[in-house]
Chain A
Amino acid sequence: QVQLVESGGGLVKPGGSLRLSCAASGFTFSDYYMSWIRQAPGKGLEWVSYISSSGSTIYYADSVKGRFTISRDNAKNSLYLQMNSLRAEDTAVYYCARGGPGGGDYWGQGTLVTVSS
């Protein structure tokens, strides 16, 4: 069965960095677009970034462009999100999802990122 497991969240000070990982299993990872979506406490969903199956096509939300970098390692069935220059407004649960704007059909359980001094 399809499984997506995020890790790497935690408490970080403003201006700090964090790297999130998403371990995928149960499907051919290299065949699928992958995405990061976040949800601030008590708020709605916000798309962050997505990457094509080969990694050649990448898009970011304007709110994270220049600060976050998405990447993938198809040999390790893993998706990553490097987050730099973190701000308080980046505080959220970060989900990885299989797929892109056409529909994320499987989501992980999320990892909480808290940016606070």
Chain B
Amino acid sequence: QSALTQPASVSGSPGQSITISCTGTSSDVGGYNYVSWYQQHPGKAPKLMIYEVSNRPSGVPDRFSGSKSGNTASLTISGLQAEDEADYYCSSYTSSSTRWVFGGGTKLTVL
């Protein structure tokens, strides 16, 4: 069982918006602003999409946004495109000995 909880799957139609949640505890998501989101296409390496809760690395479209409320972080993708279909993982720093935890991943299907 992953330390952070994500829905197994979400779906949306092109042009729509979707939100993926990532629930942790006060020892990780709720306690620190070190939440990151990664996109992974099949057979490829993960790609950083959001860091420190809401910051986008250079080159990531502004359709991708991140936020946090309490122990739950969220990734929102607006104006869904076919190429957004992928697995998405959240991660967070944690004060436990584990130090860095990931969510179980969410499969995004663009209908």
Residues of A participating in the B interface, judged by any CB pair closer than 8 Å: 35, 37, 44-47, 50, 59, 61-62, 95, 100-110
Number of residue pairs A-B, CB distance < 8 angstroms: 68
* 10 pairs of residues in contact across A and B, judged by CB atoms under 8 Å: A37-B102, A45-B102, A47-B91, A47-B98, A47-B100, A47-B101, A101-B93, A102-B36, A103-B91, A104-B36
Contact of A108 among B45, B51, B100, B101 (CB under 8 A): B45
A109: chain B residues within 8 A (beta carbon): 44-45
- The main secondary structure of chain A at its interface with chain B is loop
A108 to B47, CA, bound (A): 10
Q: Is B38 an interface residue (CB 8 A)?
A: yes
Closest to B38 in A: A45
When each residue 49-86 of chain B gets 1 if its CB lies under 8 Å from chain A and 0 otherwise, what string results? Answer: 00110000100000000000000000000000000000
Chain A proximity of B70: nearest CB distance (Å): 19
In angstroms, Cα B102 to Cα A59, docked, is 16
Task: Chain B residues near A37: list those with CB within 8 A.
Answer: 46, 102
For A46, give its contact among B51, B97, B99, B102 (CB under 8 Å).
B102
The list of the 8 closest CB pairs from A to B, nearest first, reads A103-B51, A101-B93, A101-B100, A103-B36, A47-B100, A107-B45, A44-B105, A45-B102
Q: Is the CB of A95 within 8 A of B102?
A: no
Partner pick for A100 among B97, B100, B102, B105, CB 8 A cutoff: B100
Cβ of B51 and Cβ of A110 under 8 Å apart? no
Interchain CA distance A61-B102 in the complex, whole Å: 12
A95 touches B51 (CB 8 A): no
Which residue of A is nearest B6, CB measured? Answer: A44
B51 near A105: Cβ-Cβ < 8 Å: yes
Residues of chain B with a CB closer than 8 A to A50's CB: 99-100
Cβ-defined contact, A101 with B45, below 8 A? no
A101 to B24, CA, bound (A): 15
CA distance A101 to B103 in the complex (A): 13
CA gap between A65 and B48 in the complex, in Å: 26
**B1-21 Cβ-contact flags toward A at 8 Å (1 or 0):** 010000000000000000000
